[in-house]
Amino acid sequence: NRERCDLKGEVMGDEEVCGRPLGLQFHEATGDLYVADAYFGLLVVGEGGGAATQLAVETDGEPFRFTNHLDIDQVNHTIYFTDSSSRFSR
């Protein structure tokens, strides 16, 4: 729940619930913020803010286990991201 994740200055052990954003990149043309989250995969937050929308959590039936970085080709709008392990999570 949001209150649980909005604790400021607190150390949390609730990454599975609140997420662990590790990679952030703005798409310059749209203003969208793309997020590589270790628990929730690839997400996007629109330029107006608000809740993130989940874009991808798996490929070919295999779930992402540690999505941790991304980059956007600002010319052709391709998003590249890394998932560091197919075996181990976080």
Which pTM was predicted?
0.85
Phi, psi of 78 (to 5 degrees): -85, 135
Structural domain total, the chain = 1
Distance (Å, whole) CA 13 – CA 79: 30
- Residue 90: predicted pLDDT: 67
Neighbours of 89 (CB within 10 A): 12
Q: Structural domain of residue 56, as residue ranges?
A: 19-83
Pairing mode of beta strands 79-83, 62-63 = unpaired
- Residue 86: predicted pLDDT: 74
Give me the tens of pLDDT residue by residue for the chain, a chain 90 residues long. 567 777 666 666 678 888 999 999 999 999 999 999 999 999 999 999 999 999 999 999 999 999 999 999 999 999 999 998 877 666
Sign, CA torsion 18/65/84/34: negative
Examine residue 1 and state whether it is found in any structural domain, yes or no.
no
Examine residue 11 and state whether it is found in any structural domain, yes or no.
no
- Residue 55: predicted pLDDT: 97
Examine residue 56 and state whether it is found in any structural domain, yes or no.
yes
**Three-state SS for 68?**
strand
